Each structure stands twice: as C-alpha cells, then as structure tokens.
Structure 1
Amino acid sequence: MLLWRAGIAAALVCAIGVLPWLSRTDPALTVLKSRSADRDPTPEVLADIRAQLGLDAGPFRLLGDWLDGLWRGDAGRSWISGSEVTPAVLQALGVSLLLMAVALVVAAVTAALICARTLWLGAHRRLDGRAGGSGSAVLAALPEFLTASVLATVVGVQLGWLPALGWYGPQWTILPALALGLPAGAVLGRLLDDLLPGAFAEPWALAATARGLPGRTVARQALRRCLPGLLPNTGLFVVGLTGGSVTVEQIFDIPGLGRTTLQAALAQDLPVLQAGTLALVLLAAAATGVAHLLARLLIGPALRDGALPSLHRPTPPARRSLPFAHGGLLVGVVALGLPRDPLALNTTERLAAPSPRHPFGTDALGRDILARVAHGALDTLLLAGAITAVTLLTGVALGLLPRVSGTLVDTVTALPPVLVALLVTAVVGSGTTTPALAVAAVAWAPLAAHTSALLRRNPPAPHPPPPRPRGAGPWSLLRHDRPPAAVPPVTRHALLRLPGVALALASLAFLGLGAQPPSPQWGLLLAENQPYAERAPWAVLTPAAVLALLGALAVTAAGEGRGGRRRRDRGEPDVPVPEQPAPAKELVRTG
C-alpha cells in the first residue's frame, strides 16, 4: 500500500515535470509572443526557441533537468518575464499562507457560532436532537467564487465598508478571509453539530449529568469526544482552502500562489505553472498527512481497531417539499429565459436595470441577463449530466476493485479540482473540454468509495443464499450478484451530486478555464459582469442568486436522499449517502 501511494505521488510529480513536453500548444510560440509579438513565427525562429528551452531533448531530459534544478532550489525562469521562478513562487506562497491562516480563524468562529445552540442545549440538558438550520447547509454547499463575488459586490463596492481589491494591509485581508472561511466554517460547523448530540447521549455524559457535574464541563468533554469524527475531515478542509484560494485571490486581486499559478496557466508560462502547481499539491498533501498523523497520535488504536463508536445525529425526516420548491424556481427561471436570445446585442440598453422588459437587467453589451442565465443553465446542466453518467460508470467499475482504487481514491480526494484543471489547461489549453475533464477526473472518487463500502457490507438476508451454479467463477458471480445490489444506491448518490458538478463547472468557467465569450456559461456570466459591479450590481447578483438556488437544491435534494435511504425491509444495504455539503465542496474546491 505504501509503495502504491509512493508510485502515485511520483507519477504526479513526473507529470508536472514534463508539462512542456505534454503540452499540445507549442511552448515556443508562447515564448515568441511574449518576447516579440511583432516577429513572424517562422519554423526557423520557433526551432531556435525550442533549442534554447531544451524542448527537443525529450521528456526524460526535461524531467531530469527540472528535478535537478528543484534539488538546487532553482525552478527555472519565467517564459513571460524572464525572472527567476523560485523567489516569486515563495513570495506568493507566503501571501497565500497568511490568507489561509486568517481564513482558518474565520472558519473556527463560524463553526463555533453554528454549534453554539447545540452546545448550550446540551450543557443545560435540553438537547432535542433536531438538526441545525438549513442556512449553514446552503452556505456550506456554495462555491467560494460565488461567496467572494457577492461579498466584493455588496460589502466592498456598494456599501464601501471594506476594500475589495488589492493586498496592502490588514483591512484588505478581511473580505478574502470571509470568502474563504465562511463556507469552510459552515462545513466544519455542520460536521461538529451532527456529532455533538451523539456525544451528549453517550453513557458517560448521562452519568456525569446525574452526578451533578457542571454543564460547561460536560460540553467541553463532548467537544473532545467529537474530535475523532472531525480529524479525518481536517485534511479535506485544508485542501478546500488550498483550492479556494485560487478563486478568491483572483477575485480580490491578491498576489498569492493561487492567482500566480492561474495566470501562468492562462498565459502558458509553464515554468511558473510547474512550480506553483507543485507547491499547491505539496501544501494539500502536507495538510492531509498532518491530519492523519494527529488522528493517529490523539486517538491511537481506538480509531484503527474500530473500538471507538461513531457519533451521528439521527437522520431527521426529510422535508419533501423543499427540493420541489427549489427545483421549481430553477425550472421557472430557465423556462422564462429560453425563448429569449442570449446573444442579441442592444447597445442603447447597456447595463439597464431590471424591468418588465428585462427582468434580470442587461449586461455591458445590452444582452438580456435572464436569457443568458437560462441558456447557460441548460448548457451547464446538460454537461453536468453527461459528466455524472461517465463518473457513475467509472466509479462503479473501480469500486468493484477496492484494492486497486482505494489508494487512488485517497490521492484524488486530496487534489482540488482546480489543480487538475490547471494541469489540463497546460496540456490542451482552455476551452469547453477543460472543466469537463477536470471535474470528471475527481468526481468518480466518492462514487467508487460508496461502491466499495456497499460491497464490504453483508446485510442479513431473509433466506439462505442459493447454491453456487456449477461452473460459475467468481467473476460470473460478481457480475450477476453484487453489482446489481450496489448500482441503485450509487446511482442515487450520483444524481444527488449532479448540482455540485454543475457548480464545479461554473466555478472553473469563472476562472477562465472553460468556455470563452460570448458563451453564456454560468461562471463566465459572473466573470464578465464583475467589473461593472459598482454601476450595475444586478448584473452580478442575479446570476449569483440563481447559482445560490442551485446550491440550495443540492442541499435539500441530499437531505431528501438521506431521509429515504434506510430500506432494510427490501434487503438494501444501510449505507447512507454522504451529506451533500461535503461532496459539493469536494467538487467546487476551486474553492
């Protein structure tokens, strides 16, 4: 297992090292445009640049030179500016680490506020076991680019309370830290809020209450008791901050590692992209490793041997009307906007306010925003459906081989989708296929883990199993018995993740890694209208409201799925679908 993990890590590092060789776009043409845009790209000129960069030496020579330079602290020189890469990347890394540290404080405060009610009720022996508010669940499911866009538009531009652009002092860290920390804190708070009722209901807590111990003491010990359930998610939590910093730094114009790497990917500045991507990967891997180490040190063999019982809040009855309400609103918006032309220009109505003629207003070119939102929704959801189908097949197939896919699932989970998108951009360039490939590369992992979990479970059958047919091998039994039992619940799981896939596509399109103008992709709508947030805030807030509606649909659909998951009377394994805010964040960790 250790060798398998080491092999995957080595393959990832080697892939980063040979990016100049893997790239379909000619790196020599990129360098020529940056150095001398007026010079003709003749074959002789391009061949001379390739010789200077060593691109004709082959992948092994490129990888060897890159690794040798890294060993000496030299990551090469930028193809665009000609400056050394290592000092610039280290400086950007320091900015990102400072931003993430402040975001962690915001996340801790947010999680404490979400859990305050449960802690107070538990300390005063009034805990009723009801789930927390849905507002935190919706916030947890929203991508960072959406939260950052709304904060920058409302708080930074319209109200003017805090600066929305730049990195010049403590005031400039507040809005970016809120954009990163609020969704992450909502995820952490939801996880902790689900664990606390189980801790207060354990025998030790009941005995402590009966002996008259102060409620504060019991609440403090309940928090410590929930630590085993939180530590395994801490790595993903920091990975989410790592990916989210790319989007937040881009929106708030922060010279951090995420923005530096993103701009290098868009400009095909591969030396900077290689160093930045490697730094982000190492940061995410270090966070995951530290989380696993803390779990082993603080919990010991109890977690390893399964002696520590799991904590969970009893699944509340699903509110069946909410998914239909959110879905109905979304369908209504799409139905109203589809008859309109999303590409029709009318420069006399530029940045027009919402009116009966244009319910969502118009953008900087006079195009109807409702039409663009509706057509963008159709394009995004259709692509998300295709990706969901592909990842479902991939997840089920790899889930049937847990020894092969188990370590691969752990590795993929530790990679934010935006890093995969940056690597894909370096190879094939930005376009409509880039976000699809990036999301599909990571979306299969939870479905494979779910399939493996279902196959490991052996629920008691109401009747003895039939005798094994003569001549039937293990592959035949696997094909005719176990997959049919796993496919229905995993299919439902995949459908519940479809809104999260759509949000992930929108997030990557917002960064410029997807479709290009004039496409009405959802994320692209926000990116196009962000510069006009001061004059026309509706151009940003109306698409953001529709995306928030999709996030709410993701949460309520997941709650409905969990509410109806237990079907022991039909012999279905009792393996609940993971709560949707966490899967959504796994996908939307561009953010």
Structure 2
Amino acid sequence: MRAGALLSRVGALVVVLGVIGLLPWLSGRDPALSILRARSAEQEPTAEALDAIRRELGLGAGPVSALGDWLGGVVRGDLGRSWVNGSEVLPSVLSGLSVSLTLMGAALVVALLLTVALCTPTLVRGARGTLRGNASTGGPAAALAALPEFLLATLFLLALSVWLGWFPPYGWQGPQHLVLPALALGIPAGGILGRLVDDALPAVFEERWVGLWRSSGCTPGVIARAALRRAMPPVLPQFGMVAVGLTGGAVAVETVFAVPGIGRTALGSAESQDLPLLQGSVLVLVLLGLTAGVLVGGARRRMLGPGLRDAALSLPARTTGTVGIANRVVPVVSAVVLAVVIGWGLLLEPLQLDTVARLASPSWGHPLGTDSLGRDVLARVGHGAVPTLGAAVLVCVCSYVVAMVIGFAPSLAAGVAETANAVPPVIAGILVAAAIGPGTVGASIAVAAVSWPPLASHAAALVQEARAAMHLSAQRAIGSSPFWILTRHVLPAIAGPVARHAVLRLPGIALALAALGFLGLGAQPPAPEWGLMLAESLPYVERAPWAALAPAALLLLLAALAVSLSTLPVRRVSIGVSRDV
C-alpha cells in the first residue's frame, strides 16, 4: 500500500470520527438544551437547569475537550451514557449490533445463493465451450440490483404479510421474523454480485488459456473452477462495497419490519436527539463497513499472490452486442409512463384536503385514490417528482465535478473514496440530520457526500491509464507543456466516460433520496415527496394499499429505467476500479 493512500485513508477516518464526536456542537443547538428536552419536554429550560446539565456531563469545557474525552472513552470501550434515560450506551449498541449481524449474515447467504443461481448458466456454458454472445442473466441480475431495499421490504410486507399472511409483519421473536428482512436485503445484493461475476466470466472464457486447457483434455469442472478463480480478484472489491451497502440498507429494512437492530437504534436516537447513543451506533456502522472493506482487500491480495499484489489486475474489456428489443422498449415505456403520470399530477392540487374522501379507492375523481388526509395521490406523486428528480440531477452534477477534480490525485482518491464508501447514504443522512436537521437540503448534502467516490475511482483509473499511454510519452518527448497534454489529451479521455457513468447513477441517486425521505430524514410533511409518501401510507396499508403502491410503482419504473440504461452497450468495463454495476 502506498504511503499517500495510507495517509489519505487514516486522514479520512479521522475526519469521520471527528464529525461523530462533535455531533453535539455541529447541530448549532445548545447540547445542554437538547439533553434537557430529551429528558423532560415539560421542564423549563432555566439557566440553572442548563448549567447543572453542563456540569454533570462536562460540557462546559468546550467541543475540543469533549471530543478528546469521547475518543478516549472509545479507546477504553466506554461510549458514554444515554442523554434520555442515563443508561450505558455500549450494551444498547452491542445488543443492536448482534441483531444486525444476524440479519446481515442471513442476507449474505441469500445474496450468495442468488449469485450462484445467476452465474451458474454462464459458468457451465463457458466451461463446456458453448457460450455464445452475452450472458443471459445480465438483465435479470441488473433488475434485481436496481431494487431499493426499503421498497422491496414494503412490497414484501404488503404481499407476503398483509395479503397472504405467510410471515409475521413486525418484530424479532423467532426465525420466521428473519425471512422477509433477509430477503429484502439479500435480493438486491445478490443481483449486484450476480451481475458483476456474470459480466466477468465471458471475458475470462475468451482468453487463450481456456482453449489450450480444453484442447489438453481438461474437464469442464476444472476449467470452471480456474475461470472462477481468475474472475474473482477484480470483482472482490465490489463484494466489500456490497457488504457496506448491507449496513445502510439494514437501517430502512429494520425500520419497516421493526427489527431492533443497530440501524433502527441509530435512527431512533437521531429522532430523540440522544446523541451519545447516536454517536455509538454510527461509529459501529462505519467501523463495520471499514472492516468489511479491509477483509475483502486482504482476501483479494491473498488470491493474487505475491507476484501480482502490486500490479493492476483487470479483466479484458467485454464487448457488448446489439441492443435487444426489450432493452429498447423498456426505457421508452418507463419514460412515457413516468412522463404521463407526472404531467397529469402536476395539473392537480397536491395539498387540498377532502376529509370526506379519506383513504378513498381509485375513481374518476381520484385516479390513484386518496391518502389518510384525503389528498389526491396522483397530484402528490406528480408534484413529488420535482423534489425527488430535481435534487437527484443537482447531486449528480456536483458528484461529477468533484470526481473530475479528485480523479487527478489517484492516491487521494483511493483513500478518501474508500472511507466515504464505508458511509452509506442512510448513515450520512442520519449524521447530516443530526447536524442541520432533516429536510431536502440535508438529504441532498448527505447523498452528494457519498455519491462521488465511484465516479472519482473511475476517473482516477482513467487518468492513470491516460498518463501511461505511449502517445503522451511522445508528446512529452517533443516538448508539449503539461497544460497542453492535460486539456487536449487527458481531460477529453476521461470526461466522456465519467459523464456516462454519472448518468447511469442518476436513478440510483434519486432512489437514495427517496430512501432518506422514507426514513424521515429528507423532505418533511406536507411535502409531496415519493419516499415520504410511502412512509406516510404504511400505517394504513391494510385499508388503502393503493396509497403505498402508487409511489412504489413510480420508484419501480425509475428502477426499470436505471436497469435499461445500465445494460446499454459500453466500450469498456473497469470492474476492479469502479462501482459500475
């Protein structure tokens, strides 16, 4: 590991720890006042009461001293005491962590089983020499990967718990309560892993050694195992990112199914302003993500061996063929339906109340029914597209600009990007909400803070490749200035591919913003935002399922559009250095 990358990783981790430790002061509110209100909302915030709390918790020394005390406590295994009930934070964090680790372990089993199911046809055909063209599982895998965990959890709750009654909808009393949360977390993760491996295998089977082994009489089983080992090192970093994604997705899934895990603990502590419990919960989630990344990196280095550890190992570019009819029709249909629903909804009033028509079924007057306050659902989903998609475009542009700047410092990009990747959007949303309060601006800042690393990693890899090109060596030899090389050769080589990568991530950014709205960390009532609408309709899902299905259907159409964009032909896939899926 290069010294620059190591320093950047350590520096970024220190920044994250500093933000967590300074949460009581970053909010701009008096920590003593927050503690007083958390303990007793009726008590008058007199100067004497606030001074007593400051003396009790040592808040009078200032933020720097408090940060040092908190970090010292972390080193000793002491995370402090809850501001609400005075209990120790560490036991609560460990209790939630054990539940979350159980859930994540079950979700990982689901993801690996799904990965095997998606990749087995390609692996078998490639080992037998019958693989022709693109792998057939790319489309289904991409469709599963594009499903947000909170949306899948809501659909499972509706279909398998409310309508069919196969599984309990809430709680954590037995193995039967583990099934639906594990499926909601594991299916998208399995789709991502399945597509990554499935995309990598055809390029491996096109390498010359496969034909040589086959002509030498090696069995398909031997070839399949060797091909799988050859394909795994470049995609292993993505496995770590998927594991990090499980920690963020678990927050929403635990909230939907009322699972007492560490994610739900963090969200509840943010809502109650119990900052010591929030600090401990977020710290554990961040360390969990970093640990997953370190373990996967070690596994990759072990698989590469000493001869290739310091060398760049990437798979050959996988060329894609012509775009199928389905890949042409799906984006057009999705875009048309979204445009019609949004345009129709924008013509209606989203905040008009009709208490007589509360939870009304779809009719000519209300094509998508009404919500619990009698507001027209079609009007709200139409107007909700503006904050959801508009904020997503702005976040996407900001992420692209940051990626283009940081991409020219590959060592810095590697360390900072890996650390930022360890903070899922939901965790970033909790931190931002704790600092500046929930809202559309805070949600946009949170998603932007964690959306640039994949683009920056992609840009850094392209910059390294461009600088090593032979024609640039010739340009330097004939005396071309660095500015000329940068503006005429390097920038044009990376701007286009990174921009296409950013466009592919636009629907995912919109879904991340919707997830924060669903958790109450984004737009606040009565704003007509898709994620918030879905959260507001959950308590009434048995009486009026259409109120939840309308925003869910639009989010699914958005996911379908993301799948169609991601399956378009590309010139080059850099699996080992970017999070392209």
Q: Are residue 41 (structure 1) and residue 17 (structure 2) matched?
A: no
Task: Supply the distance in 2 between the matched residues of 1:38 and 1:415 (Cα, whole angstroms).
Answer: 36
Task: Supply the distance in 2 between the matched residues of 1:485 and 1:118 (Cα, whole angstroms).
Answer: 33
Point out where structure 2 has 5 or more consecutive residues left out of the alignment: none
Cα displacement (A) at 1:231: 1.6
Counterpart in the other structure of 1:589: none
Point out where structure 1 has 5 or more consecutive residues left out of the alignment: 567-574, 585-591
Q: Are residue 102 (structure 1) and residue 110 (structure 2) matched?
A: no
Cα displacement (A) at 1:244: 1.0
Matches within 5 A, 1:376-391: 376-391=384-399
Cα displacement (A) at 1:491: 2.5
Q: Are residue 433 (structure 1) and residue 444 (structure 2) matched?
A: no
Q: 1:303 to 1:49 in 2, by over 3 A?
A: same
Identify the match of residue 163 of structure 2 among 145, 149, 158: 158
Q: 1:116 to 1:352 in 2, by over 3 A?
A: farther
Cα displacement (A) at 1:326: 1.9
Letter of the structure 2 residue corresponding to residue 56 of structure 1: G
Q: Are residue 113 (structure 1) and residue 117 (structure 2) matched?
A: yes
Letter of the structure 2 residue corresponding to residue 325 of structure 1: V
Alpha carbons 2:454, 2:579 under 8 Å: kept: no
Cα displacement (A) at 1:312: 5.5
Task: Supply the distance in 2 between the matched residues of 1:484 and 1:219 (Cα, whole angstroms).
Answer: 39
Alpha carbons 2:410, 2:461 under 8 Å: kept: no
Task: Supply the distance in 2 between the matched residues of 1:578 and 1:551 (Cα, whole angstroms).
Answer: 22
- Cα deviation, 1:156-185, whole Å, max 9, x if unaligned, reads 111111112000000000000000000001
Q: 1:354 to 1:559 in 2, by over 3 A?
A: same
Letter of the structure 1 residue corresponding to residue 251 of structure 2: V
Identify the match of residue 509 of structure 1 among 501, 507, 517: 517
Task: Supply the distance in 2 between the matched residues of 1:320 and 1:30 (Cα, whole angstroms).
Answer: 54
Q: 1:464 to 1:87 in 2, by over 3 A?
A: closer
Cα displacement (A) at 1:492: 2.8
Cα displacement (A) at 1:225: 2.8
Please provide the CA RMSD for this pair.
2.6
Counterpart in the other structure of 1:570: none
State the secondary structure of the residue aligned to 1:405. helix
Cα displacement (A) at 1:462: 12
Q: Are residue 89 (structure 1) and residue 93 (structure 2) matched?
A: yes
Counterpart in the other structure of 2:193: 188
Letter of the structure 2 residue corresponding to residue 19 of structure 1: L
Q: 1:308 to 1:12 in 2, by over 3 A?
A: closer
Cα displacement (A) at 1:103: 0.7
Counterpart in the other structure of 2:404: 396
Task: Supply the distance in 2 between the matched residues of 1:405 and 1:192 (Cα, whole angstroms).
Answer: 25
Matches within 5 A, 1:407-422: 407-422=415-430
Alpha carbons 1:163, 1:171 under 8 Å: kept: yes
User: After TM superposition, where is structure 1 displaced by more than 6 Å over at least 4 residues in a row?
Assistant: 466-469
Provide the TM-score with structure 2 as the length reference: 0.92
Q: 1:51 to 1:576 in 2, by over 3 A?
A: same
Identify the match of residue 262 of structure 1 among 254, 262, 267: 267
Identify the match of residue 178 of structure 1 among 172, 178, 183: 183
Letter of the structure 2 residue corresponding to residue 499 of structure 1: P
Q: 1:281 to 1:537 in 2, by over 3 A?
A: same
Task: Supply the distance in 1 between the matched residues of 2:407 and 2:259 (Cα, whole angstroms).
Answer: 40
Cα displacement (A) at 1:442: 1.5
State the secondary structure of the residue aligned to 1:60. helix
Letter of the structure 2 residue corresponding to residue 541 of structure 1: L
Q: 1:228 to 1:443 in 2, by over 3 A?
A: same
Q: Are residue 230 (structure 1) and residue 238 (structure 2) matched?
A: no
Matches within 5 A, 1:355-370: 355-370=363-378
Letter of the structure 2 residue corresponding to residue 268 of structure 1: Q
Alpha carbons 1:141, 1:582 under 8 Å: kept: no
Cα displacement (A) at 1:389: 1.9
Identify the match of residue 448 of structure 1 among 453, 456, 466: 456
Task: Supply the distance in 2 between the matched residues of 1:167 and 1:324 (Cα, whole angstroms).
Answer: 42
Worse overlay, 216-225 or 548-557: 216-225
Q: 1:258 to 1:122 in 2, by over 3 A?
A: same
Task: Supply the distance in 2 between the matched residues of 1:403 and 1:544 (Cα, whole angstroms).
Answer: 41
Worse overlay, 388-397 or 87-96: 388-397
Matches within 5 A, 1:295-310: 295-306=300-311, 310=315
Task: Supply the distance in 1 between the matched residues of 2:75 and 2:14 (Cα, whole angstroms).
Answer: 15
Q: 1:369 to 1:178 in 2, by over 3 A?
A: same
Letter of the structure 2 residue corresponding to residue 71 of structure 1: V
Counterpart in the other structure of 1:252: 257
Worse overlay, 19-28 or 382-391: 19-28
Alpha carbons 1:20, 1:55 under 8 Å: kept: no
Q: 1:31 to 1:307 in 2, by over 3 A?
A: closer
Q: 1:446 to 1:178 in 2, by over 3 A?
A: same
Alpha carbons 1:265, 1:273 under 8 Å: kept: yes
State the secondary structure of the residue aligned to 1:478. helix
Q: 1:69 to 1:460 in 2, by over 3 A?
A: closer
Cα displacement (A) at 1:522: 1.0
Alpha carbons 1:231, 1:295 under 8 Å: kept: yes
Q: Are residue 542 (structure 1) and residue 547 (structure 2) matched?
A: no
State the secondary structure of the residue aligned to 1:249. helix
Q: 1:75 to 1:402 in 2, by over 3 A?
A: same
Cα displacement (A) at 1:6: 1.8
Alpha carbons 2:38, 2:84 under 8 Å: kept: yes
Q: 1:530 to 1:302 in 2, by over 3 A?
A: farther
Number of aligned residue pairs = 570
Q: Are residue 424 (structure 1) and residue 429 (structure 2) matched?
A: no
Alpha carbons 2:269, 2:278 under 8 Å: kept: yes
Cα displacement (A) at 1:578: 7.1
Letter of the structure 2 residue corresponding to residue 68 of structure 1: G
- Cα deviation, 1:88-140, whole Å, max 9, x if unaligned, reads 11011000001111111111111111113223323443211323342321210
Q: Are residue 525 (structure 1) and residue 533 (structure 2) matched?
A: yes
Cα displacement (A) at 1:285: 0.7
Alpha carbons 1:197, 1:312 under 8 Å: kept: no
Identify the match of residue 341 of structure 1 among 349, 356, 365: 349
Counterpart in the other structure of 1:291: 296
Q: 1:135 to 1:354 in 2, by over 3 A?
A: farther
Alpha carbons 1:115, 1:193 under 8 Å: kept: yes
Alpha carbons 2:99, 2:260 under 8 Å: kept: yes
Cα displacement (A) at 1:558: 2.5
Q: 1:344 to 1:135 in 2, by over 3 A?
A: farther
Letter of the structure 1 residue corresponding to residue 491 of structure 2: P
Q: Give me the identity figure in percent.
A: 48
Letter of the structure 2 residue corresponding to residue 292 of structure 1: G
Cα displacement (A) at 1:524: 0.4
Task: Supply the distance in 1 between the matched residues of 2:320 and 2:311 (Cα, whole angstroms).
Answer: 22
Counterpart in the other structure of 2:13: 9
Cα displacement (A) at 1:482: 3.3
Task: Supply the distance in 2 between the matched residues of 1:62 and 1:462 (Cα, whole angstroms).
Answer: 52
